[in-house]
Amino acid sequence: MLPWTGINELSITNVPRLVIGAPHGRSGKTTFTLGLLRAFARQGMAVQPFKKGPDYIDASWHTVAANCTCRNLDSFFMGKQEICSSVSKQALGKTITIIEGAMGLYDGLDMKGSSSTAEIAKVTRTPVLLVVDATRMTRSIAAMVMGYQHFDPEVNIVGVVLNKVARRPRHAKMAREAIEEFCKIPVVGAIPKDVNLTIPDRHLGLVTSGEMQETDSFLEYLADVICEHVDLDKILTLAQAAPELPQYEATQGTNIPKYSVKNRTLSPKIGFIQDASFSFYYPENIEALKNMGADVVPINALLDSNLPRDLDGLYIGGGFPEVFAAALEENRTLRGEIRQAGENGLPIYAECGGLMYLGRSIITPSKNFEMVGLLPLDTQMESKPQGHGYTIMEANPDQTWFDELSEIKGHEFHNSRVINLAPHVKFGLKVKRGHGIDGQHDGICYKNVFASYNHIHALGCPAWAERMVKLAANYNQTKWTKIEKVAGQ
């Protein structure tokens, strides 16, 4: 047993689980994880996937592979209690929980490894299965694995998967024997080099699962490879040996009461655009709105000609509107309805791709595409990231979405930049870390619209959902008041 010390905690139900880590990015941990999830799922197991870090795309692949909604774990904007509570809640009734890491195992924001995969492993007391790129190495792999074992004694590496192994048997045999002899942990798989074990990239990472043709066939192929070259029974045994999940000191949550007008209980209707162009949503954000009493309804900006009737709020997440800009432009009726709704005071919260959509146009190297036109700006696509990484924002006075001067932790990933911005624009956020819209500001405020490059997670910013539902409920009340006044005349 490892010396998990200095933590004020109470043990809760044991959760069979593993963290999938690697010495560095591009080691193959994502394709391995996807194959592992699908291999377990098709054996009839209930598998709960998690992705470390603010990653929408890998998480979407996990969801399809496991047939279970993937969740994100991130210690930058989540506390220890929120992380462990999420694992405990989602793992309930599951056979195994798999947490895929990001980058190298110990890579974080600073010399302490803050927000690293290793930190998630320590916070959750989860054993680590290390995926190692074995290209051009045999005995040296043992030295590398041993270094990862001893770098932080609180990280429990319990097994190794060799990836990109040469087809000749000698390569895998030498590497396996060296690791098991010197590191005293098992090698549970040796996956051969295979050019087909690759998901196409885009500027923000992998393409989304919904965009890749024959996604299911690809996942089945990955599972076939895992079943042939990996010991699934051994991996399940390692997961079942995980210690009890800790429970840290609870933080006080906030609840919002349901609003009522003249004894009529309100469930404000909030739409969220979810389609191939806008797919970046944390499930916890949607759940938070529902838990606060909202009726949340999906909208397809590519296919739906009209907004839902009696809408009280609109949430537009991130995605790749530039890829689907022609189809978004073609849907003129919906764009017009969104513009008019915003002008009429409908609360609209937009993140990144949503910000781009609400502007006048998206400018790509090939063409300019007309968008909603609610905000006085255009966005131009660039070849390099304009904002990438964790953010810290401070809420400005005189905006209605966040408490004044409150600190908001989030993240941004965008290759677009705002141009032709009207000089009179009011910003809701001051950038303390990150880039935002211009390096100093983010969160354009217009009437009841708030549009920023910053993405937030409801577990790290619970007040966001409460405020959105409150604004939607107030809009609902105002709408009914107007109707009743007209009816009484």
Choosing from 70, 352, 445, 461, which is the catalytic residue? 352
352 is an active site residue: yes
The conformational region for residue 164 under phi > 0 = left, psi -120 to 50 = alpha, else beta, is left
Q: Are the beta carbons of 21 and 101 closer than 8 angstroms?
A: yes
Q: Are the beta carbons of 99 and 18 closer than 8 angstroms?
A: yes
Residue 261 to residue 397: CA distance in whole angstroms: 29
Mind telling me the catalytic residues? Answer: 352
